[in-house]
Amino acid sequence: MSRRSKNNQTKRNTVEFSEKDFLPTTKAEMDALGWDKCDVILVSGDAYIDSPFIGVAMVGRMLERLGYRVGMIGQPDINSGVDIKRLGEPRLYWGVSGGSVDSMVSNYTATKKFRNTDDYTPGGKNDKRPDRALSVYCNLIRRYFKGTVPLVIGGIEASLRRVSHYDYWQNKLKKPILFDSKADILIYGMGEIALEELTRAIEEASDYTHIRGVCYISKEPKYEYIQLPSHQECVDDKERYIDLFDDFYDNNDPISARGLCQKVDDRYLIQNPPCDYLNQEEMDANSNLPFTRELHPYYRKFGKVKCLETIKFSIMTHHGCWGECNFCAIGVHQGRTIRTRTEANILEEAKEFNKYKDYKGIISDVGGPTANMYGYECVKKLKKGTCDDIRCVDAERLCKVMHVNHERNINLLRKVREVEGVRKAFVASGVRYDLITADKKHGYSYLKEMVEHHISGQMKVAPEHTQQHVLELMGKPGKGTLVDFKKLYDRLNRESGKNQFLTYYLIAAHPGCEEKDMHELKRFTTDELKMNPEQAQVFTPTPSTYSAVMYYTELDPKSRKKIFVEKDTKRKEKQKQIVVAKECFKSGFAS
């Protein structure tokens, strides 16, 4: 029997989900469960999408497993108390998140134009997520629940704004978000272990200020912690802000990090060291939580959420990324150490897709923040934590201690393809092409697997630029690696009889980049890559990234030397148009 025939004959015991399969989001659902009160109510800038890819849904299911009664309010109306009051007041605390994306990034383009669409809002119209959602939701709760139980904030918006940070949309340094939101406690990073410990501490009315992975406000400094420059010092002196960010960035690893203390007016932001990462068994356990992978019926009547098209039948293989691109905050939020699930657990998830009637045998993605970091890590880092003085990979080279090995990833992908019901398993997550060329033993085989089985006509790579001085400021590999990779990719396509091409992510107006650099980028893509870029994005200075520090200070954080930073919106757009302008050229194969 052929592979396709076998998959077409797969028998599925499909399931239908109703409100009882979700965490309650209305009083009627609470009544049906026999609850008079929730222990915790989670408030989010997203509609309630019950997926392992949605952070607030993961938090809810984790708390449910621990025995707590959890309610969910997604995208509450901020102009009335109707939504925020519909579940009453929780017994222990409110858990507040801005959603899966920082609300300002979600609502505005790089040139500060309002986005009309939102992939996490039913119907797709961007009319439910407020600017600075965390602060708005906290104020909404306090407006209708005077003297309420603690407000605990978390998620990407909280995590990346936990110390003084540059806000691109107001073009100024803002205070740590605990001060602006008036929340009580902040859980940062992935924070799974901190969540459990904090919930128990609140339930027992015990002290939580020792719990790793949390931030809080204190009237007194904590002298045993690193003393960061005060907020006012950072406002007065941009180099002091770089000093703050260096200490902030270097203290994100559970093994090596120290706590941080920052004076803000007459009080202090206290950041305890990060909580431990989940081990492999705990990663698997979280993946086994009873997610429906659906939009809650309460929100379904308003339309579909676009994000489900990509995340519903996708598999997250690992957390963390050590790529350290300076414009990306994944390393700060998820961590720079890879934590993986077991192959058996991943394969079981792929098999579980068969129970959904709308599953057609297509897995949208098997990956993580960087797909080809699955299955290996630096032995030194696992014992001693991340290094302060050297990166795993930068514009110059890959650290010699980091032994890239795609073998486990190759075996995983082969096993996923053999799961009953799977017709195609794509790898849509980002792939570091420099890691493929660095792996002399298995890099060729990994790319061959990708070309033959896991690409849908194109493979997305992210060189971002080609000029060395810009790449160094971005923390990206040199263009020579890209040329070598493209040659190998084209060769494998020829050998496989395929005509698949590469799609390149490119950034315009990054700190250090001038118009002449974009002209050179255009020349390189035309002459060397034999293609006309159709997409490029204007750089957005997002909180908790070195690139945002560069944008604000106009200094190279390493050398403290002045760098060019384009801040005029029209000239930013011009940089983008330079590289996407249509030009005629002699086309090469698979380009």
Burial of 27 (0-12, 13-18, 19+ CB in 10 A): middle
How far is Cα 369 from Cα 384, in angstroms, rounded to an integer? 23
User: What is the reported pLDDT for 13?
Assistant: 66
How far is Cα 193 from Cα 170, in angstroms, rounded to an integer? 34
Mean pLDDT (the chain) is 94
Q: For 150-208, what is each residue's pLDDT tens digit? A: 999 999 999 999 999 999 999 999 999 999 999 999 999 999 999 999 999 999 999 99
Q: Does 20-214 match 457-591 in CATH topology?
A: no
CA 227 to chain centre: 28
Contacts of 28 (CB under 8 A, 6+ apart): none
CATH of domain 20-214: 3.40.50.280
112-126 as b/e, with b when 16 or more CB fall inside 10 Å?
Answer: eeeeeebbbbbbbeb
pTM for the predicted model, two decimal places: 0.94
Going along 388-543, which residue ranges are E strands?
Answer: 424-425, 458-464, 501-508, 537-538
Q: Which two tokens stand for residue 385?
A: 């934590």
User: Contact 253/322 with Cβ under 8 angstroms?
Assistant: no
Q: For 65-111, what is each residue's pLDDT tens digit? A: 999 999 999 999 999 999 999 999 999 999 999 999 999 999 999 99
User: What is the reported pLDDT for 583?
Assistant: 63
Which band of pLDDT confidence, cut at 50, 70 and 90, is reported for residue 8? very low
C-alpha dist (Å) from residue 247 to 199, 258, 271, 336, 368: 29, 9, 12, 16, 27
Going along 449-587, which residue ranges are E strands?
Answer: 458-464, 501-508, 537-538
User: Contact 517/552 with Cβ under 8 angstroms?
Assistant: no
Average pLDDT estimate for 313-332: 96
User: What is the reported pLDDT for 9?
Assistant: 41
Q: Which two tokens stand for residue 424?
A: 């195609």
Q: For 441-479, what is each residue's pLDDT tens digit? A: 999 999 999 999 999 889 999 999 999 999 999 999 999
If you count them, how many residues does the chain have?
591
Helix or strand or coil: residue 108?
Answer: strand
High-pLDDT (> 70) share of the chain, %: 96
User: What is the reported pLDDT for 12?
Assistant: 53
Locus of tokens 């961007």: 126
- For CA atoms 441, 446, 447, 453, the dihedral sign is positive
Give φ, ψ of 5 to 5 degrees: -65, -40
Give φ, ψ of 295 to 5 degrees: -80, 135
Which band of pLDDT confidence, cut at 50, 70 and 90, is reported for residue 259? very high
Q: Is 321 annotated as a binding residue?
A: yes
Q: Which two tokens stand for residue 171?
A: 């073009």
Locus of tokens 């579940």: 87
Q: For domain 457-591, give the fold.
A: Transcription Regulator spoIIAA (3.30.750)
Average pLDDT estimate for 506-523: 97
User: What is the reported pLDDT for 582?
Assistant: 77
- Round the CA-based radius of gyration of the chain to a whole number and report it: 24
User: What is the reported pLDDT for 56?
Assistant: 97
- For CA atoms 223, 225, 231, 233, the dihedral sign is positive
CA 418 to chain centre: 29
**Which residue type is seen at 264?**
V
Q: At what angle do helices 280-287 and 55-65 cross, to 10 degrees?
A: 100
- Which residue ranges make up each domain of the chain? 20-214, 313-449, 457-591
User: What is the reported pLDDT for 394?
Assistant: 77
Q: Is 328 annotated as a binding residue?
A: yes
Burial of 13 (0-12, 13-18, 19+ CB in 10 A): exposed
How far is Cα 564 from Cα 554, in angstroms, rounded to an integer? 7
| Phi-psi domain of 477 (left: phi exceeds 0; alpha: psi -120 through 50; beta: other) | beta
User: Contact 81/143 with Cβ under 8 angstroms?
Assistant: yes
Helix or strand or coil: residue 517?
Answer: helix
CATH 3.40.1260.10 fits 313-449, yes or no: no
Give the HSE-up count for residue 279: Cα atoms under 13 Å, Cβ half-sphere.
1
Reply yes or no on whether the pLDDT at 53 is more than 60: yes
Average pLDDT estimate for 553-569: 97
User: What is the reported pLDDT for 4?
Assistant: 37
